């Protein structure tokens, strides 16, 4: 079974990544940052976690306000470095543990957390700024990640209590994963700072110290605070420290603190913290109970003939071809598809098998491969094939045979009026 070995908490200010990139670790203004990071580096080197469940927030880089979710879990097998305006940092992509991510996602949904999920999105300084100071990365990172993005920039945002409860559910999810893995929970963000408006530059070292003490010794008390109270004490952007409660909720009630440090160089209080888990085995198999709970909603669906639930695993496998088909909602892409397919296939890096499915309009084969039906009907609208033709192909029947099973023999598609 997967085991949570501890929790790390660290600020994610871009200051950290800037200092790494410009080799400022030994300069007097910057050295205290890395003195605080050194015990965390040593802990990670000693414990060698297989996976870091990494709690962070994006800074309007990959997650814009046109679709902004409270809790968004990465389910990909790798994550690139985002370009935040001046070009991406010179860091390698980090591998994701897709199987653990997908299990966590299913478990959180079973525990009634309405999650969002993402693939193929680069990650910004919220993740890579502290990660680049925590781990060696020449030639690649020594561990895999499961990124959990918390939407803390556009109100309403999750409460402190909800974040803590998410952490408790995260523990159930990780500990019920059947593979033997050592997992560390990394929380990022904070501590006190404000970067906008006339209150820009606000800091509160006394609150930072009190907050870290409460995270260690009395996290439940923090869940009673409102977001306005966090902002009053720690600055509006500093209220993002509620993300630390996700990490703390995933650990045992009693923890062993092995490191704590703090430094305020400029705009953001930079705190580092190591908590070692002190969990105990339950007298009953609670992990199997959680796995049974996860499986309950789809139990028996495998007995339905010709039925293929669109799972995250299928989605990840068929992401390229699904994205290709999704772009058919763009007029210019549609026009190119009708006149220049080969170049588009190469540009989109479709496999030979994926290209064959599209060239042959193998509707049922695409479903078997992992294409969403609702992208097939877009393809049908572009090439002039009605939904009913696609439905009949699903059953291996001619249109005439299929129509005999319908109450009314009509044709339709999702094409607009000019195309219909």
Instruction: Examine the domain organization and report whether 44 and 142 are in the same domain.
Output: yes
Please tell me the predicted confidence (pLDDT) of residue 418: 56
Instruction: Answer whether residue 313 shows pLDDT above 90.
Output: yes
Q: Kindly state whether residue 418 falls inside one of the protein's structural domains.
A: no
> Where among 232, 266, 296 does a domain terminate?
296
Instruction: Examine the domain organization and report whether 281 and 323 are in the same domain.
Output: no
Mean pLDDT of 169-196: 97
Instruction: Answer whether residue 108 shows pLDDT above 90.
Output: yes
Domain count along the chain:
2
Starting at the earlier edge strand, list the strands of the sheet with 116-118.
116-118, 71-74, 144-150, 51-56, 182-188, 3-10, 270-277, 255-263
Please tell me the predicted confidence (pLDDT) of residue 420: 46
Distance CA 114, CA 109 (A): 6
Q: What percent of the chain has pLDDT over 90?
A: 99
Question: Quick check: is 193 catalytic?
Answer: yes
Instruction: Examine the domain organization and report whether 246 and 389 are in the same domain.
Output: no
CATH number of the domain encompassing residue 359? 1.10.700.10
Instruction: Examine the domain organization and report whether 327 and 279 are in the same domain.
Output: no
Q: Kindly state whether residue 361 falls inside one of the protein's structural domains.
A: yes
Strand 255-263 with 270-277, pairing: antiparallel
Instruction: Examine the domain organization and report whether 224 and 332 are in the same domain.
Output: no
Distance CA 190, CA 13 (A): 8
Instruction: Examine the domain organization and report whether 291 and 332 are in the same domain.
Output: no
Q: Kindly state whether residue 417 falls inside one of the protein's structural domains.
A: no
pLDDT in tens, 7-32: 999 999 999 999 999 999 999 999 99
pLDDT in tens, 203-262: 999 999 999 999 999 999 999 999 999 999 999 999 999 999 999 999 999 999 999 999
Please tell me the predicted confidence (pLDDT) of residue 171: 98
CATH number of the domain encompassing residue 49? 3.40.830.10
Q: How confident is the model at residue 416 (pLDDT cuts 50, 70, 90)?
A: confident
Instruction: Answer whether residue 191 shows pLDDT above 90.
Output: yes
CB proximity list for 232: less than 8 A, separation 6 or greater? none
Q: Which domain holds residue 10?
A: 3-296
Q: Kindly state whether residue 305 falls inside one of the protein's structural domains.
A: no
Report phi then psi at 116, rounded to 5: -105, 160
Query: Which residue among the candidates 137, 193, 326, 389 is catalytic per the annotation?
Result: 193
Instruction: Examine the domain organization and report whether 132 and 280 are in the same domain.
Output: yes
pLDDT in tens, 338-389: 999 999 999 999 999 999 999 999 999 999 999 999 999 999 999 999 999 9
Instruction: Examine the domain organization and report whether 186 and 280 are in the same domain.
Output: yes
Q: Kindly state whether residue 302 falls inside one of the protein's structural domains.
A: no
Distance CA 247, CA 169 (A): 11
CA distances to 288, 363, 392 from 360, in Å? 45, 9, 16
Radius of gyration of the chain (CA): 25
- Round the average pLDDT of the chain to a whole number and report it: 96
Instruction: Answer whether residue 395 shows pLDDT above 60.
Output: yes
Instruction: Examine the domain organization and report whether 117 and 196 are in the same domain.
Output: yes
Please tell me the predicted confidence (pLDDT) of residue 417: 72
Instruction: Examine the domain organization and report whether 277 and 325 are in the same domain.
Output: no
Beta-carbon neighbour count of residue 60 at 10 Å?
A: 13
Query: Which residue among the candidates 103, 125, 368, 389 is catalytic per the annotation?
Result: 125
Instruction: Examine the domain organization and report whether 281 and 394 are in the same domain.
Output: no
Distance CA 67, CA 117 (A): 12
Instruction: Examine the domain organization and report whether 118 and 232 are in the same domain.
Output: yes
Q: Kindly state whether residue 205 falls inside one of the protein's structural domains.
A: yes
Q: Kindly state whether residue 306 falls inside one of the protein's structural domains.
A: no
Q: Kindly state whether residue 420 falls inside one of the protein's structural domains.
A: no
Please tell me the predicted confidence (pLDDT) of residue 158: 97
Please tell me the predicted confidence (pLDDT) of residue 161: 98
Is residue 194 within 8 A of residue 62, CB to CB? The reply is no
């Amino acid at each position: 079974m997967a085991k949570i070995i501890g929790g790390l908490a660290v600020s994610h200010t871009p200051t950290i990544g800037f200092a790494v990139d410009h080799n400022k670790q030994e300069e007097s203004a910057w050295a205290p940052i890395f003195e605080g990071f050194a015990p965390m580096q040593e802990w990670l080197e000693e414990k060698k976690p297989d996976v870091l469940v990494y709690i962070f927030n994006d800074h309007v880089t990959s997650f814009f306000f046109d679709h902004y979710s409270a809790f968004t879990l990465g389910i990909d097998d790798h994550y690139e470095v985002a370009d935040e305006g001046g070009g991406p940092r010179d860091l390698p992509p980090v591998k994701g543990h897709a199987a653990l991510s997908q299990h966590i996602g299913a478990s959180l949904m079973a525990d009634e957390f309405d999650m969002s999920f993402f693939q193929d999105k680069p990650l910004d300084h919220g993740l890579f700024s502290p990660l680049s100071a925590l781990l060696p990365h020449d030639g690649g990172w020594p561990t895999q990640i499961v990124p959990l993005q918390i939407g803390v920039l556009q109100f309403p945002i999750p409460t402190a209590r909800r974040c803590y409860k998410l952490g408790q559910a995260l523990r159930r999810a990780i500990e019920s994963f059947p593979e033997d893995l050592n997992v560390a929970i990394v929380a990022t963000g904070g501590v006190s700072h404000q970067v906008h408006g006339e209150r820009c530059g606000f800091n509160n070292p006394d609150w930072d110290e009190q907050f870290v003490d409460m995270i260690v010794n009395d996290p439940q008390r923090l869940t009673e605070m409102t977001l306005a109270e966090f902002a009053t004490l720690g600055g509006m952007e500093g209220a993002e420290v509620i993300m630390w409660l996700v990490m703390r909720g995933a650990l045992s009630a009693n923890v062993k603190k092995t490191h704590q440090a703090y430094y305020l160089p400029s705009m953001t209080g930079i705190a580092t913290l190591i908590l070692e888990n002190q969990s105990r085995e339950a007298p009953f198999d609670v992990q199997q109970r959680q796995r049974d709970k996860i499986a309950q909603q789809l139990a028996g669906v495998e007995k339905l003939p010709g039925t293929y639930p669109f799972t995250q695993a299928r989605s990840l496998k068929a992401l390229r071809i699904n994205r290709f088909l999704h772009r058919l909602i763009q007029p210019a892409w549609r026009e190119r598809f009708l006149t220049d397919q080969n170049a588009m296939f190469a540009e989109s890096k479709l496999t030979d098998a994926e290209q064959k499915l599209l060239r042959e309009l193998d509707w049922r084969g695409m479903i078997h491969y992992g294409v969403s039906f609702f992208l097939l009907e877009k393809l049908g609208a572009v090439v002039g094939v009605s939904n009913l033709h696609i439905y009949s192909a699903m059953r291996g029947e001619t249109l005439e045979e299929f129509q005999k099973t319908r109450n009314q023999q009509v044709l339709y598609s999702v094409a607009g009026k000019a195309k219909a």
